[in-house]
Amino acid sequence: MNESVIHTEGLSRWFDKKQAVAEIVLDVPRGAIFGFLGQNGAGKTTTIRMLMGHLHPSGGAVEIFGRDPRWLSRADRQRVAYVSENMNLPRWIRPNEALALNASLYPNWDAVRARDLMNRFGLEDAGPFATFSKGQKRALCLVLALCTGAELLILDEPASGLDTAARRIFLDALLESNREKECTVFLSSHMLTDLERVVDRVAILKAGRKILDGELEELKDCARVLHLPASARRETVERHFRVASFRKAAEDVRATILDFNEDRLRALCAEDPAYGCVEMRGLNLEDLFVELVTGDLIETGGSVV
């Protein structure tokens, strides 16, 4: 098994009486591109802030490279680059100043790549950060992270505000970092179509709890929407499959299941002949996400697959 770059165990965080993150268990293997998904307010940013050591966990533990992120040494911090959801550079800073600062702080800073990305994002002649558009701000933050030569990129909503061309540049650069420099990437995003192109693994949060975690391809292989007869009962389907959502429509029932295989389907049909004419379809990441976050699956443990 691959070494975990990020590991959390029962990670929880309370804000006053509200629990923002509840007992999250995560393992991000070295070299993975890990998609961290959830609706607004699901606890993604809070989790990422704890990964960065900016927030203290109320319970559980978090480790980056096997250490508590709050107490990482300078050398270990040079192995991590971060883009926060709120683009957070000082308003007066100019791109060249920001690049020079990072070059002085990261020993593996790639100045050639930085120049190239600045050109591709159209930032080479930009003024102070405060005069940037939202997309330009995001692009500069990404250049600052992608060229650090860090082994771990933690990106919170990295593509938010980027236009289609800039998103493409970002995703290409991300894949290049991952494939050529073996960089591990942990990113949260609502751009699920983009994510589906790049991620190896995903975890989905709902109301602070992890409801799903696994290899994307396996999840997609095993997830199906079953169109069942109107008389279908949830308990019957749950005896054979793990059900993420179970919706009754006018003429049929649609059940989203996470662990499809032919043998189980045959067993379901054998139990009640009414299930014999099941129709089914696969799901892409976006469909799967919507079914999961709007369904009623509760899962706090490890991988579903």
Partner 1 sequence: MNARLMLVEIRKVWAWYLAFLLVTMFYLVLKPYPLAHNDIVMSVLAAFQGAMLGWRIFHDPAGTQSFAWSRPLTRTQLFMNRWLLGLSLQVLTLLVVFALVGSGARSRFHEILAGETNPFYPACRWFDLAVLWPCAVYGLLAYQAALYLNAFAEFNWRHLGGAISGTLRRTLLSVMALCFPAALFVLIDLPPATAPRWPYGVLVAGIAVITAATTAMAVHVYRHMEVES
Give the residues lining the site for partner 1 (CB under 8 A).
Answer: 16, 49, 52, 54-56, 70, 72-74, 77-78, 80, 82, 84-86, 88-93, 97, 100-102, 104-106
Q: Which is nearer to partner 1, 43 or 214 (CB)?
A: 43
Closest separation between CB of residue 93 and partner 1, Å? Answer: 6
Q: Report the C-alpha dihedral over residues 170, 172, 174, 176, rounded to 10 degrees.
A: -150
* Nearest residue (CB) to partner 1, 64 versus 293: 64
In the bound state with partner 1, the residue whose beta carbon lies nearer, of 102 and 177, is: 102
C-beta of 214: minimal distance to partner 1 in Å?
28
Return the number of the residue (84 or 256) whose C-beta is nearest partner 1. 84
Q: How far is the CB of 223 from partner 1 (least distance, A)?
A: 33
Kindly state the smallest distance separating residue 20's Cβ from partner 1, in Å. 13
Cβ-based nearer residue to partner 1, 106 or 170: 106
Q: CB 17: neighbour CB atoms within 10 A?
A: 5
The phi, psi pair for 22, rounded to 5°, reads -125, 110
Q: Do the bridges between strand 252-257 and strand 243-248 make them parallel or antiparallel, or are there none, so unpaired?
A: antiparallel
Residues 6 or more apart whose Cβ sits within 8 Å of residue 138: 83, 87, 158, 159, 160, 161, 162, 166
Smallest gap from Cβ 82 to partner 1, in A, equals: 5
Nearer to partner 1, 8 or 148 (CB): 148
Both tokens of 181, joined, read 């420099």
Distance CA 12, CA 68 (A): 15
Q: Measured from the CB of residue 211, what is the shortest distance to partner 1 in angstroms?
A: 25
User: In terms of CB distance, is 4 or 46 closer to partner 1?
Assistant: 46
Q: Rounded to the nearest whole angstrom, what is the least distance from the CB of residue 54 to partner 1 in the complex?
A: 4
Residue 284 CB, nearest distance to partner 1 (Å)? Answer: 31
**Tokens 């443990």 correspond to what residue?**
301
Between 208 and 214, CB nearer to partner 1: 208
Supply angle C-alpha 76, 78, 82, rounded to 5: 105
Task: Name which of 34, 51, 129 is nearest 91 in CA terms.
Answer: 129
